[in-house]
């Protein structure tokens, strides 16, 4: 990559920063200067390395030598001994081999990956997902062996509880507690379900996790089955993900062959098997009670809870249902321990979260960071900011159940509580960046159109309420908004939130209410001044030719309705009465002489 | 029906028999409907009756399920299914424009099939390729970073391929006759 002799990675996570990591780095750099070594090394910052108890941390490559507990006076010794004399300072080296470390060893020195921390996705991109041997080489199924030979179900549950892991499917319910409730039920027939329905339109974490490392999910589920006393697991996955389904099928076959699934796993008395059920394109089936109906071969319509699935779920039996990412965390918690895991993250949210970063941002893709990372770090650090010199407007988290957060919330720490307080939700991990070219009223309308379409129709507030909201939003974007519409939206929104049967309806107004809170002036402009500042609402814009028109006639030629007139080499004009706002003239003009106003 | 279809139908019938013997036959219903659609491209009425009889589930229930889930087609579809992603990332990057282009170019509304039976236009929710938005999928192939020109070019490639195939088949048929 470069002719630099050493690559130095300094942990820049909040745990290390508390331990004077920045000061250490400064002293270190001074020392490099003194020894005139700046040219020989390349320095990187990384996100939290998960060793917060041992900070500040420095990793030196080649060799992947990891130093910890560094004090300011250690800097000169490392520079002199290791970088100059080539002798690593053994008294400062810490031996840590957390599972996710291998990922960091391979990808850790790139800007995009170096700032991440990969637990759920630790093997994605590192192993061949279709080879069980690759997974085994990464300590795969070691957690299962440990659980079956050394731990009682009760101990497994205690460990998961102690880790502080919370559900990654959206609601953030403490996973250990859920396991405990399900384990307590006396019914001998119980089920374990993996929710891989991933309905948020703009998110692909679960898909990538399965495609990149299917065995982790299986291993998590088998451990869950052991903990609650179940013999049968089911993965409910979207039919839109054929590759993920194929890899899961292969993984299940391989795991059966190797004795990790099926009768008498690893020679113990514990038997467990997994079956795949396909979804069929209904967002609401991500909701757990609807999902269960769908597996039972019925229409996926939620029912009121309680009883919760942990008491009465699939076929009326106690059922443990967790999200893909939740399952993927389990093997790591078992191997590396709850103590290690619970050091990562914030007081109430432990571990990492995977986000699907997309929209108007330079680097799109999957990002896994410790809880507590700020939105700014993700959008502008890992994501590299907004392309094409545009201005940031908002970041949308939580998909159709979430909200849009503007600039002033960028320093919000990502955890369940902080995001909720800021007026959005963690959700399952969709994160869409929006720039100044997007109209927030349309954005809200987009999500309501989605939820309205996906509403199962069982309860009236959701079925009718979302329809009315959509009508109002549509008329506002068409320039037919009326005074009082904003208040109507607020009233309707609150009513739908309170009165709907399931999470779909209860959260459907969130995109509207959050944009009303944070971008109210855009609604007001649409309604009162008939203006859309992003020029996205075509009904509210006019195309005008400006003075820098050279009269080339390109616009005139493409106009399908002959609305453009003017002589060659003279400024043209557009007749707003004829113009159908197709925008072809705007695209055709090579001189940027046509403006939207 | 082609040879492949007949064989697949055979496996489907076996799968249905297996499901019958399970403690919860109805839990295989959606999977079986998927297999039917894989064979025929949609859910033909007669097949729904057959599934109903074999699994002993009322046709009305099956019909209810088939209409509830977006994934199932109740009408025959074209040779190529063009699904335009209308997910959030694609929306932000201009998916609406791509859809308009396709509607114009193919001359059909969403959910409909062109008169030559070549293309069916559909909307999809996030194809999981948000990084290269806006995206469409034809068959199982994903096309990303679309604009209207690129979209039309891709459609034309499919038209061309279909036309070439047709003339090749025609030539073969002519050659086959003495
Ligand atoms: C409308 C709606 C859609 C949902 N979609 C999903 C989904 O796609 N994936 C998921 O894991 N959970 C989804 N959930 C949450 C599930 O109901 C459930 O809480 C979750 O699967 C529990 O797993 P966890 O505790 O591991 O998060 C959805 C909930 C609602 C109300
Ligand atoms: S939103 Fe279109 S691929 Fe994800």
CA distances from B49 to B13, B41, B43, B56 (A): 13, 17, 10, 10
Is residue B11 domain-resident?
A: yes
Whether A296 sits inside 8 A of B70 (CB atoms) is: no
Locate the chain B residue with the closest alpha carbon to A295.
B27
Whether B69 sits inside 8 A of A280 (CB atoms) is: yes
Give the pLDDT confidence score for residue A63 in this predicted structure. Answer: 82
Q: Are residues B123 and B62 in the same domain?
A: no
Write the pLDDT tens digit of every residue in A15-53.
888 888 899 999 999 999 998 888 889 888 887 777 777
Q: Are residues B53 and B101 in the same domain?
A: no
For residue B57, list chain A residues with Cβ-Cβ distance below 8 A.
Answer: 297
Q: What is the DSSP letter of B140?
A: T
**Which ligand approaches the C-alpha of residue B85 most closely?**
2
Is pLDDT larger for residue A530 or for residue B126? A530
Q: Quick check: A287 and A503 in contact, CB under 8 A?
A: yes
Strands A352-359 and A430-435: parallel
Give the pLDDT confidence score for residue B175 in this predicted structure. Answer: 63
For residue B125 the two structure tokens come to 């929710």
Give the pLDDT confidence score for residue B176 in this predicted structure. Answer: 54
Whether A199 sits inside 8 A of B140 (CB atoms) is: no
Q: Are residues B54 and B107 in the same domain?
A: no
Locate the chain B residue with the closest alpha carbon to A316.
B24
**Which ligand approaches the C-alpha of residue A202 most closely?**
2
In the numeric block, the tokens 């006759």 are attached to B177
Q: Are residues B86 and B63 in the same domain?
A: no
Q: How many helices (H) does chain A have, and how many strands (E)? A: 25, 17
- Report d(CA A100, CA A97) in Å as an integer: 8
Kindly tell me if the per-residue pLDDT of A203 is higher than 90: no
Q: Are residues B52 and B97 in the same domain?
A: no
Residues within 6 Å of ligand 2 by CB: A 201-202; B 85, 87-90, 126-130, 133, 135
For residue B147 the two structure tokens come to 């604009």
Using pLDDT thresholds of 50, 70 and 90, give the confidence band for residue A108: confident
Locate the chain B residue with the closest alpha carbon to A234.
B27
Mean pLDDT, chain B, whole residue set: 90
Q: Are residues B121 and B153 in the same domain?
A: yes
Lowest mean pLDDT among A71-80, A196-205, A331-340, A461-470: A196-205
Using pLDDT thresholds of 50, 70 and 90, give the confidence band for residue B177: very low
Q: Are residues B165 and B138 in the same domain?
A: yes
Angle (CA) A400 A402 A405, round 5°: 125
Whether B130 sits inside 8 A of A296 (CB atoms) is: no
Using pLDDT thresholds of 50, 70 and 90, give the confidence band for residue B173: low
Using pLDDT thresholds of 50, 70 and 90, give the confidence band for residue B130: confident
Domain count, chain B: 2
Q: Are residues B128 and B172 in the same domain?
A: yes
Please give the model's pTM, rounded to 2 decimal places: 0.89
Q: Which of B68, B91, B123 is the last residue of a domain?
A: B68
For residue A282, list chain B residues with Cβ-Cβ distance below 8 A.
Answer: 68-70
For residue B126, list chain A residues with Cβ-Cβ distance below 8 A.
Answer: 200-204
Is residue B74 domain-resident?
A: no
Kindly tell me if the per-residue pLDDT of B68 is higher than 70: yes
Is pLDDT larger for residue A6 or for residue A15? A6
Give the pLDDT confidence score for residue A17 in this predicted structure. Answer: 82
**Region B21-37: what's the mean pLDDT?**
94
Q: For residue A356, give how far its alpha carbon lies from the nearest alpha carbon of chain B (Å).
A: 8
Q: Are residues B55 and B99 in the same domain?
A: no
Write the pLDDT tens digit of every residue in A536-548.
998 899 999 999 9
Q: Are residues B145 and B172 in the same domain?
A: yes
Which ranges of chain B would DSSP assign to H, the alpha helix?
A: 3-20, 29-40, 45-55, 59-68, 88-92, 95-106, 148-176
Please give the domain boundaries of chain A with CATH numbers for all domains: 6-97 (3.40.30.10), 132-341 (3.40.50.11540), 352-435 (3.10.20.600), 440-529 (1.20.1440.230), 541-596 (3.30.70.20)
Using pLDDT thresholds of 50, 70 and 90, give the confidence band for residue B174: low
Task: For residue A24, say if its preceding peptide bond is cis, omega within 30 degrees of 0.
Answer: no
Q: Are residues B88 and B172 in the same domain?
A: yes
Q: Are residues B86 and B119 in the same domain?
A: yes
Tell me how far the alpha carbon of residue A513 lies from the centroid of ligand 1, in angstroms: 22
Domain range for B35 is 3-68
- Complex ipTM more than 0.90, yes or no: no
Kindly tell me if the per-residue pLDDT of B178 is higher than 70: no
Tell me how far the alpha carbon of residue B155 lies from the centroid of ligand 1, in angstroms: 37
Write the pLDDT tens digit of every residue in A410-451.
999 999 999 999 989 999 999 999 999 999 999 999 999 999
Q: Quick check: A240 and A286 in contact, CB under 8 A?
A: no
Q: Which of B41, B68, B95 is the last residue of a domain?
A: B68
Strand partners, A545: A594
**Region A338-362: what's the mean pLDDT?**
93
Using pLDDT thresholds of 50, 70 and 90, give the confidence band for residue B143: very high
Nearest to A207 among B28, B87, B128 (CB): B128
Tell me how far the alpha carbon of residue B24 lies from the centroid of ligand 1, in angstroms: 24
């Amino acid at each position: 990559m470069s002719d630099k002799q050493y690559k130095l990675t300094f942990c820049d996570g909040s745990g290390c920063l508390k331990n004077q990591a920045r000061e250490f780095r400064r002293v270190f750099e001074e020392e490099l200067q003194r020894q005139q070594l700046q040219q020989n090394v390349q320095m990187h910052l990384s996100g939290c390395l998960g060793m917060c108890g041992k900070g500040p941390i420095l990793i030196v490559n080649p060799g992947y030598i990891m130093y910890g507990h560094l004090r300011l006076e250690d800097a000169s010794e490392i520079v002199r001994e290791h970088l100059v004399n080539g002798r690593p300072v053994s008294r400062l080296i810490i031996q840590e081999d957390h599972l996710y470390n291998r990922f960091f060893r391979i990808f850790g020195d790139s800007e995009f990956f170096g700032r991440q921390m990969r637990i759920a996705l630790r093997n994605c991109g590192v192993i061949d997902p279709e080879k069980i041997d690759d997974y085994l080489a990464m300590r795969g199924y070691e957690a299962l062996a440990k659980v079956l030979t050394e731990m009682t179900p009760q101990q497994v549950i205690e460990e998961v509880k102690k880790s502080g892991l919370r559900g990654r499917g959206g609601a953030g319910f403490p996973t250990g507690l859920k396991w405990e409730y399900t384990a307590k039920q006396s019914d001998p027939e119980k089920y374990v379900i993996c929710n891989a329905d991933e309905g948020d339109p703009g998110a692909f974490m679960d898909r990538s996790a399965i495609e990149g490392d299917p065995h982790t999910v299986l291993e998590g589920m088998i451990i869950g089955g052991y903990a609650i006393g179940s013999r049968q697991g089911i993965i409910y996955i979207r039919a839109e993900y054929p590759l993920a389904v194929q890899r899961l099928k292969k993984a299940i076959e391989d795991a059966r062959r190797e004795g990790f699934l099926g009768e008498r796993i690893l020679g113990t008395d514990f038997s467990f098997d997994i079956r795949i059920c396909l979804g069929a394109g209904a967002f609401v089936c991500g909701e757990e009670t609807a999902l269960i109906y769908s597996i039972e071969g019925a229409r996926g319509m939620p029912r009121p809870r309680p009883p919760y699935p942990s008491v009465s779920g699939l076929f009326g039996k106690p059922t443990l249902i967790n999200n893909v990412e939740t399952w993927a965390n389990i093997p790591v918690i078992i191997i590396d321990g709850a103590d290690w895991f619970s050091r990562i993250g914030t007081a109430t949210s432990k571990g990492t979260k995977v986000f699907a970063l997309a929209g108007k941002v330079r680097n799109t893709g999957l990002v896994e960071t410790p809880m507590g990372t700020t939105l700014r770090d993700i959008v502008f650090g890992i994501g590299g900011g907004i392309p094409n010199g545009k201005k940031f407007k908002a970041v949308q988290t939580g998909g159709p159940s979430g909200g849009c957060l503007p600039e002033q919330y960028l320093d919000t720490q990502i955890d369940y509580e902080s995001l909720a307080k800021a007026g959005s939700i963690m959700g399952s991990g969709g994160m869409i960046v929006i720039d100044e070219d997007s109209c927030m009223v349309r954005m809200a309308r987009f999500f309501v159109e989605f939820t309205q379409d996906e509403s199962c129709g069982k309860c009236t507030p959701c079925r009718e309420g979302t329809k009315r909201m959509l009508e109002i939003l549509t008329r506002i974007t068409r320039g037919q908004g009326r005074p009082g519409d904003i208040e109507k939206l607020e009233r309707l929104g609150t009513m739908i939130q309170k009165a709907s049967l399931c999470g779909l309806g209860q959260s459907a107004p969130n995109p509207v209410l959050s944009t009303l809170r944070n971008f109210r002036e855009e609604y007001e402009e649409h309604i009162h001044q008939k203006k859309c500042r992003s020029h996205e609402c075509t009904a509210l814009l006019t195309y005008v030719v400006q003075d820098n028109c050279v009269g080339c006639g390109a616009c005139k030629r493409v106009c399908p309705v002959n609305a453009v007139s003017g002589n060659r080499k003279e400024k043209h004009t557009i007749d707003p009465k004829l113009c159908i706002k197709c925008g072809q003239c705007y695209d055709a003009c090579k001189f940027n002489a046509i403006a939207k106003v | 029906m082609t040879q492949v279809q007949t064989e697949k139908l055979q496996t489907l019938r076996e799968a249905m028999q297996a499901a019958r013997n399970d403690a919860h036959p109805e839990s295989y219903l959606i999977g079986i409907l998927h297999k039917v659609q894989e064979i025929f491209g949609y859910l033909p009425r007669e097949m729904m009756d057959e599934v109903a009889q074999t699994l002993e589930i009322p046709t009305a229930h099956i019909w209810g399920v088939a209409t509830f889930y977006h994934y199932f087609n109740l009408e025959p579809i074209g040779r190529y299914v063009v699904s335009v992603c209308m997910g959030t990332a694609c929306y932000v990057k201009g998916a609406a424009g791509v859809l308009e282009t396709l509607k114009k170019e193919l001359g059909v509304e969403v959910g409909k099939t062109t008169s030559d039976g070549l293309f069916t236009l559909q909307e999809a929710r996030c194809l999981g390729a948000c990084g290269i938005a806006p995206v469409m999928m034809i068959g199982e192939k994903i096309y990303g970073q679309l604009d209207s020109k690129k979209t039309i070019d891709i459609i034309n490639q499919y038209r061309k391929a279909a036309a070439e195939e047709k003339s090749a088949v025609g030539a073969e048929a002519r050659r086959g006759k003495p």
